[in-house]
Amino acid sequence: MNKVKDSVMVSDPASWWRRLCRVTDQLHLCGDLPQSFWGARRNLKGWVDDGITHIVDVRGEYSDEDLVKKLQPQVVYAFHGTHDNGGPQKNSWFNEAVDSVVAAIRADPRNQVVVHCHMGVNRAPSLAFAAMLELGFNITDALTAIRSSRPIARILYADSAVRWYGNRHGWSEQKIAEACREAKNWHKQNPVDAGWVISRIRKEERVNACK
């Protein structure tokens, strides 16, 4: 199946922003921790209570490394910051970030990894997608699992992830092109209005900033 069920289509994007979403038995997606100390402490404790052992943060603009070390020192924190400007992601970023996710998952079946960016719309879902390819998922199944668990995931950098994976594993240009078409066709069948999703989350940010 390559089409996400209508029942998971989101009506309130902001409610999914900082919701921990389980994609596989060991892989989760989320938005970032709140900026306030108390909010961050509360949400981080929630992650730990839900079993999270590893955090992979892909925001280029901010890091919670010191905060996590202070509040939950047993949690393994990995920072792999990148841009969110809509352009291609570098192979070097995928190499390091995917290896971080995959190593944690393969090290112990009890490990639980959350990948997050700011809103959990593009960067984190795209890294999760790349990691799932490396773990043996096919393109359609990986994209569908991500969207089904996190309906606001646009996965904008899926094309970069496919090209990275193909190059890493020695695919021909023809095979890479076919794989990119598969990802593109999936997105056509399962569109998300990223602009609207982001605008709803930004509205929620403004509301929270005024509290």
**Which residues make Cβ contacts (< 8 Å) with residue 108, sequence separation at least 6?**
none
Please tell me what DSSP assigns to residue 170: T
Token pair of 17 as six digits:
């922003």
CATH code assigned at 81: 3.90.190.10
Read off the pLDDT band of 8 (50, 70, 90): very low
> 3 in a domain, yes or no?
no
Confirm whether 164 is domain-assigned: yes
Which strands make up the sheet holding 54-59, listed edge to edge? Answer: 21-22, 27-30, 113-116, 54-59, 76-82
Distance CA(93)–CA(130), nearest Å, equals: 11
Q: Which domain holds residue 116?
A: 12-209
Asked, for residue 4, whether it belongs to a domain, the answer is: no
Model pLDDT, residue 59: 98
3-state secondary structure 124-138: HHHHHHHHHHHCCCC
Q: Taking residues 159-184, report their average pLDDT.
A: 98
What are the tens digits of pLDDT across the range 122-152? 999 999 999 999 999 999 999 999 999 999 9
In a domain, 115, yes or no: yes
The total of structural domains in the chain comes to: 1
Q: Would you say residue 146 lies in a domain?
A: yes
Mean pLDDT computed over every residue of the chain: 95
Question: Is the residue at 5 inside a domain?
Answer: no
Q: Annotate 11-78 with DSSP letters as a single string.
A: S-GGGGTT--EE-SSSEEEE-PPPSSHHHHHHHHHHHHHTT--EEEEEESS---HHHHHHH-TTSEEE
Residue 6 lies in a domain: no
Q: Are 57 and 78 in contact (CB under 8 A)?
A: yes
**What confidence tier does 4 reach under pLDDT thresholds 50, 70, 90?**
low
Q: Which residue has the tokens 């979403």?
A: 21
**For the chain, what percent of residues have pLDDT higher than 70?**
94
pLDDT of 5 strictly over 80: no
Tokens of 153: 């995931």
Q: How confident is the model at residue 131, as a pLDDT?
A: 99
Q: What is the pTM of this model?
A: 0.94
| Cα–Cα dist 128/12, whole Å | 23
Taking a C-beta distance cutoff of 8 angstroms, is the pair 85, 105 a contact? Answer: no
Is the pLDDT score of 210 beyond 60?
no
**pLDDT range class, residue 6, cuts 50, 70, 90:** very low
156 contacts: CB under 8 Å, gap ≥ 6? 86, 121, 122, 126, 194
Is 198 a member of any domain? yes
